[in-house]
Amino acid sequence: MAELQLFGTWGSPFSKRVEMGLKLKGLEYEFIEEDIKNKSPLLQKYNPVHQKVPVLLHKGKPIAESLVILEYIDDTWDVGSPILPKSPYDRAMARFWAKFIDEKCIPTLRKACWSVGSEQEKAKEEAAILLKLLDSQVEGKKFFGGDTFGLVDIAASFIAYWFGILAECGEVQILNKDKFPNLCEWIDVFTNNSFVKEILPPKDILTEKFKALFQAAKQARTA
């Protein structure tokens, strides 16, 4: 058995976060693809509380929740590139914005894509406010933490990649260069980064998956 095993799915932005963390450190790991519709007994054993991917298994000990796993990786291996900055204040800022992305941005962006009518309009307005805050955070910087790729970039990868494909499939317009120039520039840098490109799931397969989901949601609404 490998020292490090990652239970994830090929398309999950949260699994991919952990892959980015592991690869930043140059760590070898065995990837175990989970079927979310039919969760394995191992996933249920290792993450009984949430029964979700990702779970990192290190020497048989499980860790769940992507941001918790990223901190664990950074705490455990002082090799490769750091995930969190060194200074306590910069670490606090990274944690603050990663939390903001998880608790505010991602749920609102998802709602803006999947809801309809007035609920969707409201979510789109809220999303614009949240994205503006992120936009100002990355102004004049290559990455959220400055010159180096780190925790907030990893946390924001849903916004950089998945959200764009989701919005395209759902025909939702929110994120554009006029309103969010800094964020769009960061997305450009992020998605063209060779390290990141190797990890992101293929756009065509994600597109196919999302289109089918939108189709099913539409059918369910009109059924």
Q: Which residues bind its own copies (CB under 8 A)?
A: 49, 58, 61, 63-65, 67-69, 71-72, 75-76, 88-89, 91-92, 95-96, 99-100, 103, 133
Distances (CA, A) of 6 to 61, 135, 195, 200: 12, 32, 19, 16
- Nearer to its own copies (CB atom), residue 100 or residue 161: 100
- Nearer to its own copies (CB atom), residue 68 or residue 79: 68
62 SS3 class: strand
Alpha-carbon distance of 131 to 187, in angstroms, equals 12
Alpha-carbon distance of 116 to 119, in angstroms, equals 6
Q: What torsion, rounded to 10 degrees, do the Cα atoms 13, 15, 20, 23 define? A: -160
Whether the CB-CB separation of 157 and 149 falls below 8 Å is answered with no
Min separation Cβ 183 and its own copies, Å: 15
Min separation Cβ 81 and its own copies, Å: 17
- Nearer to its own copies (CB atom), residue 13 or residue 85: 85
- Nearer to its own copies (CB atom), residue 67 or residue 166: 67
Min separation Cβ 184 and its own copies, Å: 21
Min separation Cβ 4 and its own copies, Å: 13
116 SS3 class: coil
